[in-house]
Structure 1
Amino acid sequence: MTSLADLPIRDDLRGQTPYGAPQKPVRIALNVNENTHPVPAEVIAHVTQAVERELRSINRYPDREFTALRKHLADYLGGGVTPAQVWAANGSNEVIQHILQAFGGPGRSVLGFPPTYSMHSIIASGTGTRWIAADRDDGYRITEATAVAAIDRHDPDLVFLCAPNNPTGTPLGLDVIEAVHDASRGIVMVDEAYAEFMPEGEPSALSLLEGRPRLVVSRTMSKAFAFAGGRLGYLAADPAVIDALRLVRLPYHLSALTQAAAVAALQHAPAMLATVGAIREQRDRLVVELARLGYDPHESWANFVLFGGVADPRGVFEYLLAHDILIRDLSIPNHLRVTAGTEAETTEFLEVLGRMGR
Structure 2
Amino acid sequence: MTSLADLPIRDDLRGLTPYGAPQAKVRVALNVNENTHDIPEDVAEHIVAAVAEAVRGVNRYPDREFTELRTSLAGYLGHGVTPEQIWAANGSNEVLQHILQAFGGPGRSVLGFPPTYSMHSIIASGTGTRWIAAERDAGFAISAETAVRAIEQHRPDLVFLCAPNNPTGTPMSLEAIAAAYDATEGIVVVDEAYAEFMPEDAPSALTLLPGRPRLLVSRTMSKAFAFAGARLGYLAADAAVIDALRLVRLPYHLSALTQAASVAALAHAPAMLAMVDEIRGQRDRMSRELAAMGFTPYESWANFVLFGGVADPHATFEALFRESILIRDVGLPNTLRVTAGTEEETTIFLEALGRLGA
TMscore range, shorter length: over 0.9
Distance 2:193 2:183 in 1: 24
Deviations 1:98-128 (A, max 9, x none): 0000000000000000000000000000000
TM-score relative to the length of structure 2: 1.00
Matched, 1:330 2:330: yes
Paired amino acid for 1:90:
N
2:29, 2:357 → 1: CA distance?
21
Q: Specify the alignment match of 1:72 in structure 2.
A: 72
Residue of structure 2 in register with 1:238 after alignment? 238
Find the aligned partners of 2:203 and 2:144 in 1 and give their Cα distance: 18
Deviation of the 1:178 alpha carbon: 0.2
- Distance in 2, matches of 1:181 and 1:168, equals 23
1:102 is aligned to: 102
Q: How does 1:9-158 map onto structure 2 within 5 Å?
A: 9-158=9-158
Identity value in percent = 76
* CA distance in structure 1 between the partners assigned to 2:146 and 2:56 by the alignment: 55
Q: Structure 1 residue 170: deviation in Å?
A: 0.2
User: Which AA in structure 2 matches 1:235?
Assistant: L
Q: Which residue of 2 aligns with 1:161?
A: 161
Report the Cα distance in structure 1 between the residues aligned to 2:118 and 2:356, rounded to whole angstroms: 30
Distance (whole Å) between structure 1 residues aligned to residue 356 and residue 338 of structure 2: 16
Instruction: Kindly provide the CA deviation profile for residues 252-288 of structure 1, in whole angstroms up to 9, marking residues without a partner as x.
Output: 0000000000000000101110100000000011111
**Cα RMSD over matched residues?**
0.4
Q: Distance in 1 between matches of 2:79 and 2:109?
A: 32
Q: Could you report, residue by residue, the CA deviation over 1:270-326 in whole angstroms, capped at 9, with x for unpaired residues?
A: 111010000000001111100101101100000000001101001100111011100
Residue equivalent to 2:285: 285
What is the rounded CA distance, in whole Å, between the counterparts of 2:249 and 2:120 in structure 1?
18
Give the whole-Å Cα distance in 1 for the aligned partners of 2:234 and 2:145.
30
The whole-number CA distance in structure 2 between the counterparts of 1:200 and 1:87 is 25
> Hey, what does 2:179 align to over in structure 1?
179
- Tell me the CA shift for residue 79 of structure 1: 1.1
Return the alpha-carbon distance in structure 2 between the equivalents of residues 6 and 296 of structure 1: 46
Query: How much does 1:201 deviate?
Result: 1.1
- Determine the C-alpha separation between the residues in 1 that align with 2:38 and 2:110: 37
Separation of aligned partners in 2, 1:142 and 1:87:
27
Mapped partners of 1:196, 1:56: distance in 2: 34
Structure 1: how far apart are the matches of 2:53 and 2:281?
Answer: 38
Q: Distance in 2 between matches of 1:185 and 1:274?
A: 40
Residue equivalent to 1:249: 249
Alpha-carbon offset, residue 200 of structure 1: 1.1
- What stretches of structure 2 of length at least 5 have no aligned partner? none
Q: What amino acid is the match of 1:32?
A: V
Structure-1 separation of matches of 2:69 and 2:200 = 26
Residues 151-184 of structure 1: CA distance to partner in whole angstroms, max 9, x if unpaired? 0000000000000000000000000000000001
**C-alpha separation in 1, matches of 2:132 and 2:52:** 46
In structure 2, distance between residues paired with 1:345 and 1:201: 28
Q: SS of the residue aligned with 2:69?
A: helix
SS in structure 2 opposite 1:149?
A: helix
**Distance in 2, Cα, partners of 1:201 & 1:46:** 31
Q: What's the TM-score, normalizing by structure 1?
A: 1.00
How far residue 143 of structure 1 moved from its aligned partner, in angstroms, is 0.8
Residue matched to 1:309 = 309
Give 1:193 deviation, angstroms: 0.1
> Which contiguous aligned blocks of 4+ residues in structure 1 show a shift greater than 3 angstroms?
none
> Aligned partners of 1:254, 1:237: CA distance in 2, in Å?
19
Note if 1:198 corresponds to 2:198.
Answer: yes
1:111 match: secondary structure = strand
C-alpha displacement of 1:50 = 0.4
Deviations 1:117-150 (A, max 9, x none): 0000000000000000000000000011111010
Equivalent position SS for 1:119: helix
* Separation (CA, whole Å) in 2 of partners of 1:108 and 1:298: 34
Residue 216 of structure 1 aligns to a residue in which SS? Answer: strand
May I ask how many residue pairs the two structures share in their alignment?
Answer: 358
Q: CA deviation at 1:185?
A: 1.0
Whole-Å separation in 1 of the counterparts to 2:48 and 2:281? 31
CA distance in 2, matches of 1:21, 1:63: 33
Q: Which runs of 5+ in 1 are unaligned?
A: none
Any idea what SS the aligned residue of 2:235 has?
Answer: strand
